[in-house]
Structure 1
Amino acid sequence: MSADLTALDDLLDRMLGCILLSDLAALSPLAAEAETLLARVTTPADIVAVHRLRAKAEHNARCLAATARGLRAAQRRLAEIRALREGRTRLVTYDGQGRRAETALSPASLTRRI
């Protein structure tokens, strides 16, 4: 495997580490580094290495998409909690089987439940 492909392989591993740690701010400089490395790779001779790199990149993309879904879910949950504080009186929860349940709450009991 060429030095550029090896560097790209290592970079994809570092990117995955950032994704798994939710260190999204660290991804931007790594993305720029990836673009630089990809620009230097013209016609790779090691097609097996290229397929492995593609698989790693696709795995990273799936992990990043899962992170984004988790962040959106957290944002929705925080919005629900804020709405409760502003006077809504129902808290939506889910049990272990994913069944939805609504609980009537007073704003004073919110701090005890959360």
Structure 2
Amino acid sequence: MKKEKQFFINGRENEVLLKNWETSDGCIATDRITVDGLPVGYMYREKPEEDSPFEGYDSGWRFTAGDESDEYMQKAENSGIYKLNTICQYDPDIIPLLHAPYGTAYIRDENGVFQEEPFEPLEE
């Protein structure tokens, strides 16, 4: 039986933080953010797959805390599909970066500031 996730609550769950967003607003985030309550440590935007069941919904944004192992990332149950505004509620620091084009990545440095990072999408 699948265990139900207990989401981390940060007091902003009803607040609309992402205003005037006029394109696809779906994204993927790991449980390290949404369940454990860690801030976004690494974020990247890949071009959504054409003919995907999420076509028209997927913004291409992916969010991790940055400490997830490869093994953790391989398990689909450790991530979820969310609206961008939901992840903004968990970590509003990402908001100014969301208009970046596909192929962009940011990593949070030791001072907690996002720095642009080279990003090479995985080839299937």
Normalising by structure 1, what TM-score?
0.25
Between structures 1 and 2, the one with greater helix share: 1
Tell me: higher relative CO, structure 1 or 2? Use CA pairs within 8 A at least 6 residues apart: 2
Give TM-score scaled by structure 2 length.
0.23
More strand by share: 2
